[in-house]
Amino acid sequence: VSDEIATRPGGARRAVNSREVARLAGVSQATVSRVLSGHPNVAPSTRLRVLEAIDASGFVPNRLARSLVTSRSSTIGLVVSNITDSFYAELAEALCAQATEANLSVVLCNTQQDVDRQRDYLRLLVEQQVAGIVVASSMADAPYIGELVMKAFPIVLVNRLVNDVTADAVVIDNVSGAMKAVGHLASLGHSRIAFIRGVKSTSTSQDRESGFWAGLEASGIPMQSGCVLEGDFSWSGARQAATAFTSLDPRPTAALCADDATALGFMDGLANRGLGVPGDCAVVGFDDIRLASYWSVELTTIRQPISEMARLAMQLLIRRVNGQALPPEVIVLPAELVIRSTCGAKSHQRASFAAVS
Amino acid sequence: VSDEIATRPGGARRAVNSREVARLAGVSQATVSRVLSGHPNVAPSTRLRVLEAIDASGFVPNRLARSLVTSRSSTIGLVVSNITDSFYAELAEALCAQATEANLSVVLCNTQQDVDRQRDYLRLLVEQQVAGIVVASSMADAPYIGELVMKAFPIVLVNRLVNDVTADAVVIDNVSGAMKAVGHLASLGHSRIAFIRGVKSTSTSQDRESGFWAGLEASGIPMQSGCVLEGDFSWSGARQAATAFTSLDPRPTAALCADDATALGFMDGLANRGLGVPGDCAVVGFDDIRLASYWSVELTTIRQPISEMARLAMQLLIRRVNGQALPPEVIVLPAELVIRSTCGAKSHQRASFAAVS
DNA sequence: ATGAAAGCGCTAACAT
DNA sequence: ATGTTAGCGCTTTCAT
């Protein structure tokens, strides 16, 4: 269980502490502490002596000790399912920026979609006394999160919600986003539309699928069987979906994908089978990761305002940490359809990404 | 300075500690500690009573206190320049996996190429008493890193080296990698080859450029002026390089890019100006990120074995943390050329990434 | 303005 | 096998 490793390795002598600094400066340890925390009651001359002693000794304050005594932490946790997924990388970037702004460190937990691992990470973060946790749960059923929220532990859900958990959250309206996407496709004349799922256990995949069905109904498109294909939010999973797609009969003329990675992988798979986008199949993604806007891609998608979500998440977290027992606040941002070229709605004289000329 | 936030927010009562558990179980606090750390000298019956008390009270051990007294940390730092860069996302994923294996948490520091920020992050990590730091320095000149290494603080450089710092490190042979790339292009008949730089201050961009020049010389290709274009390891920077590229006269027939993101952006820019790859310009990247292998991309590139690098970095870090004053170990992995389709060496009936059909 | 002293929650001798 | 005790390095009363 105890695999911790020494903070001061073999050769190194023990780090200097504030007492040694005090001795060096000829003051009490309490005074050093006062200088460190910028307490007003320190004479300019002593402050100077202390600062010199700090410099001379190479003293580095121990945050662990400080946190232990103050019960305040300068660390938060970020739990995501896959940091190599552009969406989460961009989220991590934005959240780190926000955290830095607030003088907070971020412990990154990459669950790889593993339920047990997510639980373990959460527990570990709590043991580490993080001030709070921002989590995009790998699964809609994640009981341990509910327990933490119940204990009034500061948790903010982001992007993905969790069943039976009422906590602060920042999400977009996934259902209406998917409906907008279907509406867009329908308006372009498509009536055979496929949906490529993400990881089925996530709230995002579920909600987007609901929106897909609702969108079909709203557009008066009859339901077809077999038009929902499995995916897993990964490029490779979506490539397999593309294979399945090509053998559908009648083959849909459009596909709504559970996220942009899925859309990209799906298009990769289509291209591999000689099918063009949007000619043979219109494609809509979800997220609007940076890659989606590049010229060779120009993916029509539902936008998630990632930076804004990170900003709001941090705001909720800090509010929760400082606040009294506030009611949970769920922020649902509107889902915006970004029309680019993969549905043919906009003409785009696209060459190839890496064209064989 | 002190922006820490409370670990126990407003409403919540103070967390239970091991003393309360002891009281509940009718044992001494030391016994609780023994149960927690799996000490052998605990009678099965008492252990059971303690475990029950832990369960009943919802006790969560405080790692800060433990670390404070043991001088052992279960946290390491990871410093990268840009987590949305696929290479670093993949590195973070691999390192997190390694860390989890070793029961370690990872504090993510995203420097955004900012010198000051990198220094601040490093300092913060030290204050947090992390056991060690894995850093891919945003710049080859990073004095503070040298100071830490001098103080025998466990640091492992990964991917990028730092001037005048002799520390544990894991890198690939960037010079020879670039030479191989140039050799490959030369063997395909190219004699006008461009190099698209990364961030100039990084060791990787510098070494790869050195390899570029060495490669030209090795292939007997005369140096041309103006064949080195500025980039910044970003897609957008590389798009601008593509614009500059098109106005070169004579225009090179091939380009070696400082990394895969650069290659992708460069190709995006070429496509945007109606130039095809490899027909109008052969392209070689550097890193072999996952995207490079997808069918619509098929980027010829120099491979970095990211998982292996993370594994070795963690190994070096743990060795350093536990070890006596060992001499620094610099692991230089061979650079492997991965031939795909962007140089025309392999025929690849590629359609478009998202082809207008 | 400064110092002395009491812990924060835990581990690790040292007793018994 | 269990309890007692002394800290880890810091903040924070409370004196002075």
For residue A5, what pLDDT is reported? 75
Q: Which two tokens stand for residue B346?
A: 């392999």
| B107 with A104: Cβ contact below 8 A | no
Residue numbers in A near B5 (CB within 8 A): 72-74, 102, 104, 131-132, 318, 321-322
pLDDT tens figures, A132-152: 999 999 999 998 999 999 999
For residue B356, what pLDDT is reported? 39
Place of tokens 């992995």: B333
C-alpha distances out from residue B344 to B174, B297, B299, Å: 23, 13, 10
Q: Which of residues 212-241 of B touch strand D (CB under 7 A)?
A: none
| B106 with A103: Cβ contact below 8 A | no
pLDDT at A117 over 80: yes
Residue nearest to nucleotide C2 (CA to C1'): A31
Nearest to B83 among A82, A92, A107 (CB): A92
For residue B2, what pLDDT is reported? 47
User: B48 to chain A nearest CA, in Å?
Assistant: 18
A73 touches strand D (CB under 7 A): no
- Helical packing angle, B29-36 and B44-57, nearest 10°: 90
pTM of the entire predicted model: 0.95
pLDDT tens figures, A199-226: 999 999 999 999 999 999 999 999 888 9
| A324 with B10: Cβ contact below 8 A | yes
Give the residue ranges of chain B where pLDDT is below 50.
1-2, 11, 351-352, 354-357
Phi then psi for residue A29, to 5 deg, are: -60, -35
For residue A243, what pLDDT is reported? 97
Near strand C (CB < 7 A), which residues?
A 26-31, 34, 40-43, 45-47, 65, 68-69, 71; B 14-15, 17-19, 29-30, 33, 36-37, 59, 61-62, 65-66, 68-70
For residue B6, what pLDDT is reported? 72
Angle value at C-alpha A100, between A94 and A104, nearest 5 degrees: 115
Whose CA is closest to B128, among B149, B107, B155? B107
pLDDT tens figures, A149-189: 999 999 999 999 999 999 999 999 999 999 999 999 999 99
Q: Which residue of A has its CA nearest to B318?
A: A5
- Beta-carbon neighbour count of residue B195 at 10 Å? 26
Mutating which of A57, A78, A91, A357 best tests the B interface, going by the most B Cβ atoms within 10 A? A357
Would you list the DSSP string of A162-196?
-TT---EEEEE-HHHHHHHHHHHHHHTT---EEEE
Nucleotide nearest to B30 (CA to C1'): D3
What is the rounded CA–CA span in Å between residue A35 and residue A55?
13
pLDDT tens figures, A248-291: 999 999 999 999 999 999 999 999 999 999 999 999 999 999 99
pLDDT interval class at A9 (50, 70, 90): low
Q: Which residue has the higher pLDDT, A11 or B245?
A: B245
Q: Residue A357 burial by CB count (10 A; 0-12/13-18/19+): exposed, middle or buried?
A: middle
Nucleotide nearest to A41 (CA to C1'): C1
For residue B3, what pLDDT is reported? 61
- Beta-carbon neighbour count of residue B30 at 10 Å? 11
Nearest to A321 among B9, B117, B297 (CB): B9
| A10 with B83: Cβ contact below 8 A | no
Taking the CA of residue A150 and the C1' sugar atom of nucleotide D12, their distance in angstroms comes to: 31
How big is chain A, counted in residues?
A: 357
Angle value at C-alpha B90, between A75 and A144, nearest 5 degrees: 45
Taking the CA of residue A54 and the C1' sugar atom of nucleotide C3, their distance in angstroms comes to: 19
